[in-house]
Amino acid sequence: MKATHVYLKGFNGWGIFYRMEDCLVYFTIASVLVREMGLCVLAFCFMFNHIHTLFKNIKPAVLKRFQIRLTTMFSREYNENYGRRGPVFMSPYGKAVKSVMKKIISCIAYVLNNPVAGKMCEHALDYRWTLLSYYKCRHPYSQRLIKRNSRHIMRDAYSVVDIYYKRNKYLSYAVLKRIFNGLNSIERQQLTDYIIAKYNFLNYNELIEIFGSFDKTLLVTETHAGNEYDMEDECGDHSIYQEMIKLSKKYGFEGPNYEKLSTSRIIALKRLLHSAINPPDYQLQNFLHLPHH
């Protein structure tokens, strides 16, 4: 058995996932391609400005084709939605092949613990985008869904998701805007969970085969942070990005279109973020899509 760890970083280290829609578009595109190409994903996690994926027994040519299709499709959607141009991701992507089980297990733990190391949560199970919480529950971040008791607008939204999934089509920004329109906060969380559970591509059976059980997967992840010496990753407190997202949105500076802001507005936002959070320079540059000095 071999496993290939893929590390995909935002262009210049810049932020990508400012909104839930960004996450869902990327996630459903990846899901469609995983199903279509018959791939096996052992671990997955995305953060504000990068994504980790661990594939089982994937051939280099297949991986290259997958990554090209994924980044091309998402970049087209992303740029069209936000009216921007230019690359979204760094090229080439990073990859490291693991052929020893001990290293595979360590890499799984590393990927799943990325949000813990980044101070986004205390446990990998608590972070939505490790997908671990969807193993035992299809609605870990929302109230239980009872379709027959849902409003008509909600039932329509679920039907759209079902149709797109059945046809192995991803959910574009336009589709997400349409199905989330008119929903209240509770319904939005329910629909988000429904989409993730529906399009979930994490291969739990393979994890169970490697670790012995799902609970042992969690135990190893809890007790072993893992490591990745074969590629460079961004360390530091990633919860700062979430704080900057909340604060900038509060004051009407919602990303990711910071490149379009005037110099005076960028300066004003930098001062605001510095006074409230005082983020490291490199994180502020990543957040505002500024060149690194």
Chain-wide mean pLDDT for the chain?
A: 93
Q: Which pLDDT band holds residue 178 (cuts at 50, 70, 90)?
A: very high
Residue with tokens 């799943």, as numbered in its chain: 112
d(CA 242, CA 247): 9
State percent of the chain over pLDDT 90.
82
Rounded percentage of the chain residues whose pLDDT exceeds 70? 99
CB 45 within 8 A of CB 233: no
Residues 218, 196 contacting (CB under 8 angstroms): no
Determine the average pLDDT of the residues in 206-226.
92
Mean pLDDT of 32-56: 97
| Per-residue pLDDT tens over the stretch 49-106 | 999 999 999 999 999 999 999 999 999 999 999 999 899 999 999 999 999 999 999 9
pLDDT band at 293 (very low <50, low <70, confident <90, very high): low
Helix (H), strand (E), coil (C) string for the chain: CCEEEEEEEEHHHCCCCCCHHHHHHHHHHHHHHHHHHCCCEEEEEECCCEEEEEEECCCHHHHHHHHHHHHHHHHHHHHHHHCCCCCCECCCCEEEEECCHHHHHHHHHHHHCHHHHCCCCCCHHHCHHHCHHHCCCCCCCCCCCCHHHCCHHHHHHHHHHHHHHHCCCCCCHHHHHHHHCCCCHHHHHHHHHHHHHHHCCECHHHHHHHHCCHHHHHHHHHHCCCCCCCCCCCCCCCHHHHHHHHHHHHCCCCCCHHHHCCHHHHHHHHHHHHHHCCCCHHHHHHHHCCCCC
Query: What is the mean pLDDT of the segment spanning 274-281?
Result: 92
Tell me if 63 sits within 8 A of 8, measured CB to CB. Answer: no
The C-alpha angle with vertex 132 and arms to 129 and 136, in degrees rounded to 5, equals 130
Task: Check: CB of residue 118 under 8 Å from CB of residue 49.
Answer: no
The answer, yes or no, to whether residue 165 has pLDDT greater than 90, is yes
* pLDDT confidence band for 255 (50 / 70 / 90): confident
- 223 pLDDT higher than 70: yes
Give me the residue spans of the domains in the chain: 3-137+199-223, 147-197, 239-288
Triad 50, 56, 58: Cα angle to 5°: 85
pLDDT of residue 250: 87
**pTM for this entry:** 0.95
CATH of domain 3-137+199-223: 3.30.70.1290
Tell me, what's the pLDDT at 150?
A: 87
